[in-house]
């Protein structure tokens, strides 16, 4: 139990720092938050890949799976930022962009999981 808690905390911190680094590297283009989109889609892809390759396998300890899935990827991806950024676009009257961003983020995120799963199946 304590290893899971420590692993979650450390992995969560690494996920947050990784997200922050990517968001600083990817310039914002007007109201469009490209960094958040890239982070969420890449996180979905990695999640799909890892679910297929290591998820639900007895050879990978549950605490390690939780550390990666809940800790790192939970800290890395961000639904709250997606929601806030969509709200800010609506508030500044970029209605079409807000709808495209919100819907596109979900659709492309699901596609990212699908691509990750397919890659995982090819590797497994």
Q: How far apart are CA 116 and CA 114, in angstroms?
A: 5
**Residue 36 exposure: Cα atoms within 13 Å on the Cβ side:** 19
The three-class DSSP label of residue 6 is helix
List pLDDT tens digits, range 36-87. Answer: 999 999 999 999 999 888 876 778 888 888 899 999 999 999 999 999 999 9
Q: How far apart are CA 67 and CA 5, in angstroms?
A: 8
Q: Which domain holds residue 48?
A: 2-123
List pLDDT tens digits, range 96-107. Answer: 999 999 999 999
* Tokens linked to 3: 């290893």
Q: Number of structural domains, the chain?
A: 1
């Amino acid at each position: 139990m304590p290893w899971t808690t420590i692993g979650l905390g450390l992995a969560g911190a690494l996920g947050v720092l990784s997200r922050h680094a990517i968001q600083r590297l990817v310039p914002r283009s007007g109201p469009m938050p490209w960094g958040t989109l890239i982070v969420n889609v890449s996180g979905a892809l990695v999640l799909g890949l890892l679910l297929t390759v290591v998820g639900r396998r007895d050879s990978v300890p549950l605490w390690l799976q939780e550390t990666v899935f809940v800790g790192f990827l939970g800290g890395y991806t961000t639904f709250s930022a997606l929601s806030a950024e969509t709200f800010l676009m609506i508030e500044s009257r970029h209605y079409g962009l807000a709808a495209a961003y919100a819907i596109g983020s979900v659709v492309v995120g699901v596609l990212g999981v699908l691509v990750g799963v397919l890659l995982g199946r090819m590797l497994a």
